[in-house]
Copies of this chain bind each other. A is one copy, B any other.
Amino acid sequence: MDKDRTEAFSDGIFTIAITLMILEFKVPDRAAANSNGELVRALLGLWPSLLAFLISFVTILVMWVNHHGFFTLLKEVDRRLLYANGFLLLIVTMLPFPTATLAQHLQTPAAKAAAVFYCGMFVLVSIGYNLMYMAGARQRLVRDRACERVMSRVRNAYRFGFLWYSLAAVVAAFHALAGVIICSLLWLLWARLDYSTR
């Protein structure tokens, strides 16, 4: 099992998951929007869909950059890493579903359950990254000493991510939107996490 092919397969999953989410936007039908004003209101009423879409899109995009960054530290992959990566891809593939659930229910009495479900899925994502870290951070797989130093920075970020997403899920049980916003803030960390050895 070579590294290039694993990355190509992972890229494919990330790309399709990120694109499929748009299918969850339902066009307001003719009965519900029978004038220009009504259509504008119907489209504006989709803001929970847009919010959920934007957060998921940005997060998956940044996660994909991180996934690539992590693989640059490795010189090869083994079966254990493949399984950890497979678990991560499983969760990424599922992301369009909690995104759609959140979009449907963010303005209903079921908002908190939807928000906990959404944030909880990101807890699973961060578990996936931590498993991938644990499978990859072994001398046999890491490229060289410089990469090992980067690895410890990465480990701290991944652990922090797990705690942060768990916090978001807990907050979401009390205030749906607050939990989702906390959840979304973490892309600032992922966007800045540096995998270069310089």
Q: Could you list which residues of chain A lie within 8 angstroms of chain B, going by C-beta atoms? A: 1, 5, 8-9, 11-25, 27-30, 33-40, 43, 53-54, 57-58, 61, 64-65, 68-69, 82, 86, 89-90, 93-94, 96-97, 100-101, 104-105, 108-114, 117
Contacts and interface: CB of A to CB of B under 8 A. Distances in A.
Q: Which 7 A-B pairs have the closest CB atoms?
A: A12-B15, A39-B110, A36-B113, A39-B113, A16-B19, A25-B97, A27-B100
A36 B43 CA distance: 26
B30 A65 contact: no
Contacts of A13: 15, 18-19
A108 B88 CA distance: 32
B117 A43 contact: yes
Contacts of A90: 54, 57-58, 61
Interface of A is mostly: helix
**Central interface residue in A53, A97, A105, A117, by most chain B CB within 10 Å:** A97
A109 B68 contact: no
A104 B27 contact: yes
Given A15-B16, A16-B20, A19-B93, 13 more contacts: A9-B15, A13-B18, A19-B20, A21-B93, A25-B94, A27-B97, A30-B105, A30-B108, A33-B105, A57-B93, A58-B90, A61-B86, A61-B89
Contacts of A110: 30, 33-36, 38-39
28 contacts: A1-B68, A8-B11, A9-B14, A9-B15, A9-B64, A12-B12, A12-B15, A19-B93, A20-B20, A21-B93, A25-B94, A25-B97, A28-B101, A28-B104, A29-B104, A30-B104, A35-B109, A36-B112, A39-B105, A39-B110, A40-B113, A43-B101, A43-B117, A53-B94, A57-B90, A58-B86, A58-B90, A61-B86
A5 B117 CA distance: 32
